[in-house]
Amino acid sequence: MTVTIPLDPAVLAMAKGQAHAAGISMPVWVARSIRNSAIVEGARRYQWFDRTADDAEAMAAWDDQYRMGHRLAGAEW
């Protein structure tokens, strides 16, 4: 699917400059920007959950008790 969005020439110039500075093509820069935006948006849902949950103290205590190196990960869960 192809989506065409008209942009201000200044925005295009900025995007071209950032793509050039990163050493990638403009389409790759756009794709990465979209992907990164989707990741950021997805993280907002978790931030909302953290803010609205009422177990912050219990979770902090659990985090303190089980340091990263001692936690189960991946298939162990």
Output 45 or 24, whichever has higher pLDDT: 24
Q: Answer whether residue 2 is part of any domain.
A: no
Beta strands in the chain (DSSP E): none
Question: Whose structure tokens read 């995007």?
Answer: 15
pLDDT of residue 57: 82
Flag whether pLDDT at 56 surpasses 80: no
Domain that includes residue 42, residue range: 9-69
Q: What is the pLDDT of residue 42?
A: 75
Residue 39 domain-assigned? yes
Read off the pLDDT of residues 27-40 as tens digits, 9 standing for 90 and up.
888 888 888 877 77
Whether 3 maps to a domain, the answer reads no
